[in-house]
Amino acid sequence: PEGSTPTPVATVSQYACKRRTTTQNNNKIFTDAFEVLAESYEFNEIEGRCLAFRRAASVLKSLPWAVQRLEATQDLPCLGGHTKAVIQDTEPSKLCSFRRQRSCHSLFTSVFGVGVKTAEKWYRRGLRSFRDILTNSHVVFFPAGFLHYGDISRAVSEAEARALGNIIDEAVRAITPDAVLALTGGFRRGKEFGHDVDYLLTTPELGKEEALLLSVIDRLKHQSILLYCDYQASTLDMDQLPCRRFEAMDHFAKCFLILRLEAGQVEGDLQRVEGDSRSWRAVRVDLVSPPIDHYAFALLGWSGSRQFERDLRRFARLERKMLLDNHALYDLTKKEFLEAKTEKDIFAHLGLEYIEPWQRNA
């Protein structure tokens, strides 16, 4: 009946890896507000608050119902006083003051290659626009993202991701017919749009994966669809694992690409702004090439979401005394690495129910 408070059937876990979160978000009004605040705290390096708002947003995303009144949230984890105040809308002025700063922040980080740290540095130097940056002599770091900026800042559609999948698949098969290729990232989770397209690429034969990646890049170059390539060779060293401190990037061979996608290759049409009649657009693509014995960990790590990954690692550490990252799972009690061929093996090692990729939109 209308107006009644929905009672959660089961208690909601504080860990995103124990919740099932599809792309359907019933609480977007609140989660958007939380994410504005989280970003702002991240920008100002107030980590605790940032994380608190991210966790709160993630909890609300998992609810199959819409929060109507504050009382409905009383049994939910991760919702503290600050988040509840936002729900009650007692802090609209704070949200407003953050928005101005946020618009610069997200303008800068929307450039491929520019992270929070760089954006923050530019902001502190008083830079507020791209013109400011391009004319400022102190800015020596000049990211490739300014190339094709218009295209890259425009979302990639599922149809475009599929078209790119065909191109990559064709290139891979031509080189190594039995190679393993998997879509990861947001599109694997069933998102309709993304900022890039992410793939994992490996060979059944251990040690051939890096050469395959290089050959794929070479082939794309010869097809004249490679607009930009930042290749990073593997720095994987099992003697350095497990790593206790979380690292932003894993050690697999990978490349960050900008590819040229022709309209004719896409079912429907390219994502374009009105008046743009070009027959192609630039798209950001990531290819990661883990050795086959690390494949399951890489797949789980690159499928996201970021919050889902954070909570998987936190759950492993705090509840199981295990260290999880994109490379491996290490049991601190037994002092050994736990092998896994599939994602299901990893969930089983952690004593977690398996969560499908489309339920990981935490």
Residues that constitute the known binding site: 196, 198, 286
Residue nearest to Mg ion (CB): 185
CA 258 to chain centre: 17
Binding-site partner at residue 304 among ligand DCP, Mg ion, none, CB < 5 to 8 Å by type: ligand DCP
160 is a contact residue toward Mg ion (CB under 5 A): no
Structure tokens at 169: 């698949």
Residues 288/299, Cβ–Cβ less than 8 Å: no
Binding-site partner at residue 309 among ligand DCP, Mg ion, none, CB < 5 to 8 Å by type: ligand DCP
Active-site position among 132, 218, 286, 331: 286
DSSP 356: -
Minimum distance of ligand DCP from residue 221's CB (angstroms): 23
Please say if 250 is a catalytic residue: no
210 is a contact residue toward ligand DCP (CB under 6 A): no
Residues 285/160, Cβ–Cβ less than 8 Å: no
Minimum distance of ligand DCP from residue 345's CB (angstroms): 19
Q: Which of residues 294-313 bind ligand DCP (CB under 6 A)?
A: 301-302, 304-306, 309
185 is a contact residue toward ligand DCP (CB under 6 A): yes
CA–CA gap between residue 262 and residue 280 (Å, rounded)? 4
Minimum distance of Mg ion from residue 359's CB (angstroms): 17
196 is a contact residue toward Mg ion (CB under 5 A): yes
Minimum distance of ligand DCP from residue 326's CB (angstroms): 8
Please say if 286 is a catalytic residue: yes
CA–CA gap between residue 120 and residue 126 (Å, rounded)? 10
Q: Which of residues 257-296 bind ligand DCP (CB under 6 A)?
A: none
Write the CA distances from 320 to 11, 306, 312, 323, integer angstroms: 21, 20, 11, 9
Q: How many residues comprise the chain? A: 362
C-beta of 45 vs 75, nearer to ligand DCP: 45
Please say if 218 is a catalytic residue: no
CA–CA gap between residue 296 and residue 302 (Å, rounded)? 10
CA–CA gap between residue 260 and residue 275 (Å, rounded)? 19
186 is a contact residue toward ligand DCP (CB under 6 A): yes
- Which residue from 185, 290, 301, 357 is in contact with Mg ion, where contact means CB under 5 A? 185
Would you list which residues are annotated within the binding site for Mg(2+)?
Answer: 196, 198, 286
Structure tokens at 22: 């599809």
How many binding residues for Mg ion (CB under 5 A)?
5
DSSP 207: T
DSSP 188: H
Q: Which of 106, 112, 196 is nearest to 149 (CA)?
A: 112
DSSP 83: H
Residues 148/226, Cβ–Cβ less than 8 Å: no
Minimum distance of ligand DCP from residue 199's CB (angstroms): 11
CA–CA gap between residue 360 and residue 148 (Å, rounded)? 31
Active-site position among 151, 196, 250, 325: 196
User: Rule CB under 5 A: which residues touch Mg ion?
Assistant: 185-186, 194, 196, 198
User: Rule CB under 6 A: which residues touch ligand DCP?
Assistant: 185-186, 191, 194-196, 198, 248, 301-302, 304-306, 309
Active-site residue list: 196, 198, 286
